[in-house]
A and B are shown apart, each in its own frame.
Chain A
């Protein structure tokens, strides 16, 4: 034994680290199969004998192909036992596996590397070290890493046979793997004393937790799930040291074999040899950490009407505390079963087995792949930053391919529209707007620090019974991080964030409200009009700055709330009054209203055709197999996948011609206000609209998975905006679009009328009343005005006009009497 530092653990027939057993009765990795398997011994001897041969002590020397051959040959020579050694109970030859692993470690190269290397460059490539050799060197240099992560797919690519053996007989193959690895390390640097463990991950197929069955026992499996509970860390004795109570002699460290310490019955010193005198010395024992973790199925794997399954995971050493409750992880490990004793003192075992997974590798996964929280990253180069190897799951790739196929369909836009809430009838333009909201525009952050939001806010106003709430519910279901609240039941703090006292510790805690929780999602607010003004005012910041600021109880914080707001409101008089403006109908402050990119009026117009379709639809809901009703639409999971993929990976940019069109269209919209022949200045579009347009056209490009915003996107964006504006911002008295209606709540024509009235009133007062003379009554003035003017004047209008005059210092109003000054 050349280096006792690592050869000693082999004395117990299993590699270090995992030789610990979870509990006393547990067979463990390297356990029972080996215990009865004597064949392991010769292989170990041959393996550990190898480092003593002075082959390549120089660790800086890269193993060239010729020396590899020599090594392999040396191994072959070492292993040239007359009888091949088999793993107990199988037809696996230890030597074969040994050689296969060594070949893999030495020669495996990433496929893309070798692909680039042509036959001519093969020699050069061969000079380059294999991936895992580099890895081993790195670990040795760092001295910190104690495990070598081995991608099981690499093993499969290199040697499918080895992969198969590894999955079917992980205990045996991994033990050999570790030995080969140690050997390899020892050759490079005989003084390297740490044990390097092999951690296999990324198996070709992962098992659904509920499909684990007895045939998986002792096999390598990979399961995905969510950690729900972690035990405290359990120190486990690895090497025990005993001291003689009589003479004080310390025994050699005794290795713990399968949870059992073989306590020496007599003192080891020849002079003493006292019986039953040995006692355990705790602080000289070596301990390792151990932890048990409960893993539960993730919601998407639970069949309908079922409850999630759980499985226990046993973690060792470095893996302890690698995952916290709530984490979604992928575990690769060995599925084990252990028998249960009836009582701790009884030897009889129940016929029941408890199962657990001996964890080899833990990988954290973000949610389930397609719901990845993504989304509209502020910098567009995010797509290049995430690891290339991360997304290369074949099933994921398949899905992406399918999505890409979909995106190439010419009618994808219509198809998406049709798939959105297929059971809600009509409202196609509204659905298109909502789709844009789901896809979202690009957020932009300028170097100066100014940022532009990419989220699209939508307000739906409409008559009761026009399935607004259902649309909201649907979006809420669809959006990866949607929050649904009702305006009536939300307070300002409930929406943003609030500070509370933790009942247990008394510390002040910041708790997130709906808007913060729906960061990068859609916050659906039903009954927006019923919300208190106080709560609504909080939305100003959220909807433009996309943050929530808190200054309360010693906590000053600004939280991200990059959320799209989808609100719906009922008209204040329960039914929409077409003779009033939107503002009057919904009683929302114009400042807030202007922050919505799209405002849709969903009116219930009498129309036989729609009625009939609705009726047909309702009838079919009741009488037909629901599956046959909806055709040719994407199902919900596909739609969700499509949207999340687009949000994550597609960051469209505006092409030149699209930019041109945007400018032209915007100018056009502005110009429309200046109709020739009318003096009044009507604002038909504001800077906010052009931002909205950009966002909308970006979202539209995203729907096609296109990296460029094209002309047609811009045109469609204009159309959408116009549809929305026509509904909401049309001045009913002139029929033109008037942004003032939204910005200030008063249309330009209305303002003209008011100005006219003020002028008329002023004239009247100047005419009729003396400076400082007797005062006139309001109703008399009203009479006079009504006689003069052609339009109808109400007392309220008059009061408004007089108030203006009073501020100008023309009159004084006392109660109902007016006095000129």
Chain B
């Protein structure tokens, strides 16, 4: 294309407008053009797709996050990765309106760009609203650095930034406060635009947890220093997205800090009543994103795909060995624990059949003491953080159980889903440190929280509280429990005493880390299949095992089979091979 009248990145709305006009013009004059466009795209999306994926425009699009949010201009194209935290239903808007003889569209914008005469012919279209937040526990290595503003729009950026600064004078001290005080969380000021969301160096681990664990304040129920976004999605059934999906949106960013005063009219209490859900996310605080293109993200989308697409057996095996070595080192030379940890890291929920959740493998490492936790626990947490895209940790204490908000809860007053610590993206790793648990009394909230955790562990579901009823949401969370003795609060699938022998400094090169991440993500997503003869063999194996040990129940067999499957998968094999199956009984 030559001589474009618009710039996709800086002026996407121009592209939308032009394509709309072109489409209107090209449609037969007798047909009502806008009827044809309702709930459909008239070619604008294709235009953007072409720009982004064919012409390599993707790299020019800045990533929207807490740090870049300051200088990105409204009405430009941005990328945003977030978890669907709440679904706010649909919104009707005037999609198009006839201004004199010409049709104009309001698609992909909040306010109409032109004055609408009150009596003009208008068409109502709908769009879906999703409230998206950065994925809880997202590790810094997954965050891509966004392209710095190009020289072209640098100048305009600066002026904008300047204006922003003035407006946010109050926030400046919040920034300083935050910088000086590691776990400042009580700053009541709105500071959604400061402080990189998740810092994953090991010294900051516990601070991260504090963010999660502390009872939420104010009407923003998510960690305050993160950037949430109200995404408006067009022309797509809402069922396409599920709660807690991680999605990358590319769309038009709008943010109008000027629009602060919308409701000082006390008469309009009804008006508030009708609007409430979105009213609590005013556009002056929460930016809007009009989605053009979106894509669901899975764990393997995070590591840059530098490796071969097809996992070759020998490559996989060598990476497996090195990763195992790394884990062994992290675990103080406990090879067995490292083996199990590897299987644990590879587990995911494969299927749910009635009450049985197939494929989960939670691990409980016991025999931790206060001292060994401070050494190995932290080491382990940071190692896992470096390997998996989303990790969270919960220091389980009586106080924590009694005070923390684990359960996501629908606040019917505001119409919002209040985030709980257990609202996690699929595939999140959760470390629960039970070593600090003391004797104490649980209050009713504590009991509820404990049963919530137990439920998650056993069934991989989390009950969301909708005030008048509870709704069970499927989860896929890898749970690792560190405890002194066997944890009775959280019965894990595997209980393993942890026996470290040496303390060794662990250092992993960036190259290696990359390959491990790739390995974990790829192997985890491998489909599993099985040949009939292997099933037969497994059956025989199991019958023998049962004959030897009468105490084997179906749950044990399930677990053994899961392990066998993971073991074979860890070698990069799609189907269970014989020798791995043999190992079932021995494990």
A-B contacts, 12 listed (Cβ < 8 Å): A234-B269, A303-B239, A305-B243, A308-B466, A310-B277, A354-B274, A474-B354, A474-B355, A615-B541, A618-B554, A623-B535, A630-B353
How many A residues touch B, CB cutoff 8 Å?
74
Contact A465 B415 (CB under 8 A): no
Picked from B242, B552, B562, the residue with its CB within 8 Å of the CB of A622 is B562
Is A351 close to B, CB under 8 A? yes
Instruction: Check B87 against A425 for contact (C-beta < 8 Å).
Output: no
Do A299 and B469 contact each other (CB < 8 Å), given the known contacts A423-B355, A611-B543, A615-B538? Answer: yes
Whether a CB of chain A sits under 8 angstroms from the CB of B115 is yes
Task: Report if A614 contacts B (CB, 8 A).
Answer: yes
What is the distance, in angstroms, from A538's C-beta to the closest C-beta of chain B? Answer: 19
A614 nearest in chain B by CB position = B554
B residues in contact with A470, CB < 8 Å: 355-356
Measured between beta carbons, the chain A residues less than 8 angstroms from B267 are 344
Partner of B271, one of A23, A422, A620: A23
Q: Give bound CA distance, A616 to B274, whole Å.
A: 56
* Interface residues in A611-627 (C-beta closer than 8 Å to B): 611-612, 614-623, 626
- Please report which residues of chain A, range 274-293, place their CB below 8 angstroms from some CB of chain B when the two chains form the complex: 290, 292
Which residues of B sit under 8 angstroms from A310, Cβ to Cβ? 89, 277, 415
Q: Which residues 523-564 of B have a CB within 8 angstroms of A?
A: 528-530, 535, 538-543, 546-547, 550-558, 561-562
Q: Find B239's partner among A296, A299, A306, A617 (CB 8 Å cutoff).
A: A306
> A618 vs B545: C-alpha distance in the bound complex, in angstroms?
14
Question: What are the residues of chain A within 8 A of B273 when measuring CB–CB?
Answer: 231, 292, 294, 312
A472 CA to B180 CA, complexed, in Å: 54
Residues of B within 8 A of A611 (CB): 542-543, 546-547
- B242 pairs with A306, CB closer than 8 A: yes
Contact B262 A465 (CB under 8 A): no
Contact A302 B264 (CB under 8 A): no
- Could you tell me if B553 and A294 are in contact, using CB atoms closer than 8 angstroms? no
B residues engaging A (CB < 8 A)? 38, 86-87, 89-94, 106, 109-112, 115-116, 118, 124-126, 238-239, 242-245, 259, 261-265, 267-271, 273-275, 277, 350-356, 358-359, 410, 412-413, 415, 417, 447, 466-469, 471, 473-474, 528-530, 535, 538-543, 546-547, 550-558, 561-562, 565
A299 / chain B contacts, CB cutoff of 8 Å: 466, 469, 471
Q: Which of A214, A226, A292, A467 counts the most chain B CB atoms within 10 A? A: A214
Residues of A within 8 A of B557 (CB): 614-615, 618
Is A629's CB within 8 Å of the partner chain B? yes
A421 and B354 contacting across the interface, CB-CB below 8 Å = yes
Contact of A465 (CB < 8 Å), options: B263, B466, B530, B556: B556
- Tell yes or no: A163 within 8 A of B by CB: no
Contact yes or no, B542 A349, CB < 8 A = no
Contact A307 B562 (CB under 8 A): no
How many Å lie between the Cα of A354 and that of B273 in the bound state? 11
CB distance from B448 to the nearest CB of A (A): 12
- Give me 16 other A-B pairs in contact (C-beta within 8 A), A618-B554, A621-B558 excluded: A23-B271, A343-B261, A348-B116, A350-B111, A351-B109, A351-B110, A352-B92, A421-B355, A423-B354, A465-B553, A604-B553, A608-B547, A611-B543, A611-B547, A615-B538, A622-B565
**When A and B form their complex, which 5 residue pairs have the shortest distance between CB atoms, in order from nearest?**
A465-B553, A305-B242, A344-B265, A615-B542, A623-B530
Q: How far is the CA of A584 from the CA of B373 in the complex (A)?
A: 44
Instruction: Spell out A's residues near B (CB within 8 Å).
Output: 22-23, 210, 213-214, 217, 226, 228-229, 231, 234, 290, 292, 294, 296, 299, 302-310, 312, 325-326, 337, 340, 342-344, 348-356, 421-423, 425, 464-467, 470, 473-474, 477, 489, 604, 606, 608, 611-612, 614-623, 626, 629-630, 636
B167 CB to closest chain A CB, in angstroms?
19
The answer to whether B535 touches A620 (Cβ under 8 A) is yes
> How many Å lie between the Cα of A353 and that of B109 in the bound state?
14
Residues of A with C-beta under 8 A to B110:
350-352
Shortest Cβ distance from residue A301 to the other chain B in the assembled complex, whole angstroms: 11
Cα distance A294–B89 when bound, in Å?
14
Q: How far is the CA of A620 from the CA of B536 in the complex (A)?
A: 10
Contact status A342-B242, CB under 8 Å: no
Complex formed: what's the CA distance from A262 to B410 in Å? Answer: 43
**Assembled-state Cα–Cα distance A783/B565 (Å):** 62
Question: Which A residues are in CB contact (< 8 Å) with B245?
Answer: 305
Give the residue of A292, A294, A616 whose beta carbon is less than 8 angstroms from that of B412. A294
The CA of A622 and the CA of B552, in the complex, are separated in Å by 18
Do residues B243 and A622 form an inter-chain contact, with CB atoms below 8 A? no
B89 neighbours in A (Cβ, 8 Å): 210, 309-310
Query: Does the CB pair B92–A234 fall under 8 Å?
Result: no
Known interface pairs A615-B542, A619-B561. Does A343 touch B274 (Cβ–Cβ under 8 Å)? no
Q: Which residue of B has the minimal Cβ distance to A476?
A: B355
Q: Contact at A629–B353, with CB atoms within 8 Å?
A: yes
**B79 → A minimal CB distance (Å):** 24
Residues of A within 8 A of B415 (CB): 294, 310
Partner of A344, one of B92, B264, B541: B264
Residues of the A chain whose Cβ atoms lie less than 8 Å from the Cβ of B546: 611, 614-615
